[in-house]
Structures are given as C-alpha cells and as structure tokens.
Chains A and B, each alone.
Chain A
Amino acid sequence: MHLAYPAVLSALLFCTGLYGVLARRNAILVLMSVELMLNAVNLNLVAFDVWLSKAAEETLHSGQALTLFTITIAAAEIGIGLAIVLAVYRNRGTSDIDKLRDTAESHDTEGPDHDALTAGQAEKAEATA
C-alpha cells in the first residue's frame, strides 16, 4: 500500500479536529474534536510502524506501543475533561466555553456582548469576593 493513503487521511482527520476545536462552542463538542485529532495521530503512528517494521530487521514496535499508550491517555483525558466540564456546569449552569470569561480583560465584559454582561456580573462578584 502506498504510504500516502494513511498519511493523507490522517492529515485530513487532524485538520477536521482542528476546525472542530476552533469553531465549536460546547465544551463537550470540543472534547470530541480533540478525540478526532488524537485518532489522526494514532493512524499515523500505526501506518509508519507497519512500514518501518517491514523495512527494518529489528524493531521495537514503538509505533504500536505508543498508539496503545495514546489510547489509554486519551481515555484518562476524556474522563478528567468531562469531570471538569461537569464541575463547571454545576457552578455556572453552562458548558458554553464562550461564556467562561473570568480571565479575560475587563473591557471585554463591557463590550457589545450583553449575554456575557449579565452572566458576567455574577462571575465578577465571585471574583472580587
């Protein structure tokens, strides 16, 4: 098999995940896009490991071992990420990452975004406390 097939598919999936991370507003959808990016990297690792294990005499199968480690770490990451999202949802009542602007500059909350203004007052009260 030509190596370009898995490599190009991996690049396409990675950029799809990149678009999702940048364009999505719900935190859980952002986590889904991160999963897409991780899977693209996994496909690359597996393809190059299969290529190199046939090309070299001695191989450690490092690509496949790293793929297994990536899958495990992704599972841990999604667990922690969802716990954080649920904690934020319990505190703020939203999982919309555009509304979590505690660390933004102060003039951002005075901007034309009235939704952020009303939601920001409670957060400001909490931040000053």
Chain B
Amino acid sequence: MSPTSAALTTAADTHGFLSPTGVEIAFLLVGLVTFGAALVTVTTRQLVHAALWLVATLGGLAVEYLLLTAEFIAWVQVLIYVGSVVVLLLFGLMLTKAPIGRSPDADSGNRWAALTVALAAAATLIWVVVDAFRTTWIDLEGPAAGSTKATGESLFQNWVLPFEGLSVLLLAALVGAIVLSRQAKETAADGPGTGCRSGNRTEAGAPSATGVPAPAATEPGAPSEKESR
C-alpha cells in the first residue's frame, strides 16, 4: 500500500506525462464515456434516444466537474441540465410528434461537408490547445477551488449585479416563451374568421392537418413547463 502511494506522490510531484495520476485516469475514462455519448447523440437516427444519450453526456460532464473540484457547478449541472433541459427537449420532441422509431431523414444532405468542417475544427483546436498548454498543470491539492462556500462568496461579493441582471433575463425569457405560445393560439382562433390573410394562413396549415389538431393539447404544456423551472 505505502509503496504504491509513494510512487503516486512522486509521479504527481515530477508531473510525469507518461505516468498519469489516479485523477487523470478517472478523468480520461469518464471523458471517453462522455465523448462517446456525445457522438451517439449527434449521429443516432432515433430522436428520443438522442435526448437520452444527451443525459449520459451531461451526467459525464458533471462527473468531470467533480473531478476538477468544482462541486457546486457539478450539482447545478445535474439539476438544471439533466433535470430540466433534457425534460424540456423530450417535451419538445413529443409535442412536435417526433417519430418514435428510426427516422431515415434525421441527417441532412450536407452531412459530409459538416463532417469535414467538424474534423478540421477539431484538428486545429486540439493542435493549438495541446501546443499551448503542454507544460501547464492544474494543482488539485489543498482546499477545493469550486466548493460551495468559495463559489457563493465570490458570486455574492463580486458578481451580485450580473446575478440580479440574470434574474431579469430569466423573467424576460419566461414572459417571452408564454407570449410566443399564446400568439399562435390567438391566430389559430381568429384563423377561420375573416380576411384573406387569415384564410391563407389556414391554407398554409392545411397540408399538415394531421399534426394541427394537437395545439389545444400542446398549448398548456409549454408555458406551465417554463414556470416549473
């Protein structure tokens, strides 16, 4: 037991690149899982599975935050992303009547151009980042840099004004989402009424008549969901 721990400390002291510490190995393994889940998220043809793989990606990122000693960020990530954003996305998939099984047209025609751009960007970014930070080490010893105490103190001593501004932004987003949902309901309500413009509008909606009767059911979903957040 003691020889291995001594070897680990010496490896950490000399910053050996070929002898990674336990934290680095854990970070690497969780990172592989996270990256694989992200790849499945953007390539799977089953839309609901994409949302569920996104949960794996975001959860893996929360573990990475924990390994970086940023515990408050990790729990905020779990609460907001895994708890609310993915649920919102799943609601969106259901309300737009996404197909449950495999949908052959999930990827657009410019997939190869997108792959080229993404691979070029990845190669450039990784080359630059590795070259720039080749001799930089994060010191994870000592008190945690992202403990709830440290984060709260810095947030409410130095960042109070942006914090309050953010609450106004959230309120604006809430009101905006409700207005966006209500507007569609009003135009749908006066659609069969008068005027050539509304007539055209119902005509535009006609080809999708299979999906249109839903609005009455979908309308209450979106605003109440926002409020729950």
Contact = CB atoms under 8 A, between A and B. Distances in A.
Interface of A: 1-9, 11-20, 22-26, 28-29, 31-33, 35-36, 39, 42-43, 46-47, 49-51, 53-55, 59-62, 64-65, 67-69, 71-80, 82-87, 89-96, 98, 118-119, 122-123, 125-126, 129
Contacts of A46: 65, 68, 70, 73, 146
B24 A72 contact: no
A2 to B, nearest CB: 6
Contact of B151 (A26, A64, A86): A64
A18 B118 contact: yes
Q: Chain A CB within 10 Å — which of B24, B58, B208 has the most? A: B208
Judged by DSSP, the binding face of B is helix
Contacts of B85: 35, 74-75, 78
Contacts of B93: 28
Given A9-B64, A87-B184, A32 B113 contact: no
A16 B222 contact: no
Interface string B32-67: 001100110110000100110010011001001101
A94 B204 CA distance: 12
Given A26-B47, A91-B204, A9 B34 contact: yes
Contacts of A28: 47, 89, 92-93, 96, 98
Interface residues of B, number: 113
A3 B98 CA distance: 41
Given A7-B133, A39-B58, A42-B73, 10 more contacts: A1-B138, A2-B136, A28-B93, A33-B42, A54-B139, A67-B70, A73-B169, A74-B85, A75-B85, A79-B226
Contacts of A55: 139
Nearest to A75: B80
A40 B35 CA distance: 11
Interface in B85-126: 85, 88-89, 91-93, 95-96, 98, 103, 105-111, 113-115, 117-119, 121-122, 125-126
B183 interface: yes
Given A11-B129, A15-B125, A26-B98, A2 B24 contact: yes
A13 B35 contact: yes
B92 A43 contact: no
A23 B108 contact: yes
A50 B138 contact: yes
A12 B70 contact: no
Contacts of A83: 176-177, 180-181, 222, 226
B136 A16 contact: no
Nearest to A51: B138
